[in-house]
Amino acid sequence: MNDILVTGGTGFVGSHMIDYILKYAIRLDQKIYCTKRWMEDTKNLDHVRRKDRLKFIDCDLLDAHSIRRAIEISKPEKVFHFAAQSFPEVSFKTPVITLQTNTVGTTHLLEAIKESDYDPVIVSVSTSEVYGMPNEDEVPIKETNPIRAANPYSISKVGHDLMSQYYYDAFDLKMIITRMFSHEGSRRGKIFALSSFAYQVVQNEKGLGDYNIRHGNLDSVRTYNHIDDAVHAYWLAVDKCDYGEVYNIGGDYTCTVGDALDMLISKSTVKDKLVKVLDPDRVRPTDITLQIPDSTKFREKTGWKPTKGLEEICDDLLDYWRNIGDLY
């Protein structure tokens, strides 16, 4: 029992987590096991050269048998649980699947670990969305803030958090619950605001757009964290944080979504032609417009601090879409 299991390792955060472990943290006697759904592509990890250290396991959070099999194959020392239906916008259209995947699926995973012969440290990855819309006197947001989940995704993550806490309280699973605030970078799907903006900018640079940058609410306030800093934080969490505790993790750069869009446009080769256009389809039915974290608890426990800001995030997003090939 000394290997690492990363659920959802082919996704945005999971693939960066695997990159980080392979580059900075893996021991000579360790392998990384990455769960993926059947027939799911692994393009986010195609660049990995150390294939002998990375193994894929077909697995679905809603299939309890496949999860038990993943635990038996990986025999994990550490578990990073990223697998989820993680798109708030999608959750409005698929609330049942979102709840099943994020709450029931997490329960399947924790039950499989409880029933196994292994006792890994688990980083149970949650989200700042569980706090919903804070009152002005509740900002910056602490771990003690009220839970006011405002969409099916965040509601499902409240269930995820409660089940994680339950398995710690009832069965002594080595559980660390993290609530990450906005985090961005390369490989981020274009369903998310900043990546969508970068995608549209690059479409127009390649002559594939109409020079309109379509957007939703630009007044929402976010504190952005670069994905490289985010995965470094997750690694520190597994080694330094206390079991059964909740930790907020967030960056230092706070601005409106509109400010971030303006920075992306300013870096474009066709910036003088681009026009911002409100798209009603991109406005959420319910929105969380104020997300500023208090990460003091996590920073004091781990010594972590972000090293990159919005400038690097924008550069990485634009470079990602510029280099991905034909856009469509």
Does one domain contain both 209 and 134? no
pLDDT attached to residue 326? 54
* Rounded-to-10 torsion of CA 58, 61, 67, 70: 40
What burial class does residue 303 get, using C-beta atoms within 10 Å of its C-beta: 0-12 exposed, 13-18 middle, 19+ buried?
exposed
Does one domain contain both 213 and 240? no
Per-residue pLDDT of the chain (328 residues; tens, 9 = 90+): 789 999 999 999 999 999 999 999 988 889 999 999 998 899 999 999 878 899 999 999 999 999 999 999 999 999 999 999 998 888 999 999 999 999 999 999 999 999 999 999 999 999 999 999 999 899 999 999 999 999 999 999 999 999 999 999 999 999 999 999 999 999 999 999 999 999 999 999 999 999 999 999 999 999 999 999 999 999 999 999 999 999 999 999 999 999 999 999 999 999 999 999 999 999 988 888 899 999 999 999 999 999 999 999 999 999 999 998 555 5
User: Scanning the structure block, which residue is given the tokens 């700042």?
Assistant: 128
Distance CA 73, CA 77 (A): 12
Does one domain contain both 176 and 278? no
- Residue 130 carries which DSSP code? G
Does one domain contain both 147 and 263? no
**Distance set, CA 204 to CA 53, 184, 267, 325 (Å):** 40, 21, 13, 14
In a domain, residue 153? The reply is yes
In a domain, residue 299? The reply is no
Distance CA 238, CA 97 (A): 29
Does one domain contain both 161 and 176? yes
Q: What domain range is 318 assigned to?
A: 186-222+253-292+307-323
Does one domain contain both 171 and 127? yes
In a domain, residue 328? The reply is no
The DSSP secondary structure of 165-208, one letter per residue, reads: HHHHHHH--EEEEEEE--EE-TT--TTSHHHHHHHHHHHHHTT-
In a domain, residue 301? The reply is no
Does one domain contain both 10 and 146? yes
pLDDT attached to residue 286? 80
Does one domain contain both 108 and 236? yes
Contact 215, 261 (CB under 8 A): yes
Domain count, the chain: 2
Q: How many CB atoms lie within 10 A of CB 196?
A: 20
Q: What are phi and psi of 223, to 5 degrees?
A: -110, 115
Does one domain contain both 58 and 198? no
In a domain, residue 198? The reply is yes
Does one domain contain both 75 and 100? yes
Beta-carbon contacts of residue 40 (< 8 Å; ≥ 6 apart)? 10
In a domain, residue 311? The reply is yes
Quote the distance between the C-alpha of residue 184 and its chain's center: 9
CATH number at residue 270: 3.90.25.10
pLDDT attached to residue 284? 85
